[in-house]
Structure 1
Amino acid sequence: MSDRYLNMFTKLKEQNEGAFIPFVTLGDPDIPTSLE
């Protein structure tokens, strides 16, 4: 994990807060379908 993320998660933990990390998969099953 990069220092940037580690620092942010440490800061959030100290403040008793969480983080929302969206994850989007493109190209499954194909790009045109993903773009719909």
Structure 2
Amino acid sequence: MPHIIAAVKTYATVGEICNVLRDEFGEYQPGGTM
């Protein structure tokens, strides 16, 4: 969280922050149905 706050303070956009998080953790993939 501190890194995200630091990015916001340096005027990073939401899209830029989301792209970094997506690169790091990947996109959500819902599981199959039971």
Q: Is TM (by shorter chain) over 0.5?
A: no
- Greater relative contact order structure (CA < 8 Å, 6+ sep): 2
Greater C-alpha radius of gyration: 1
* Richer in helix (by share): 2
| TM-score, reference length from structure 1 | 0.40
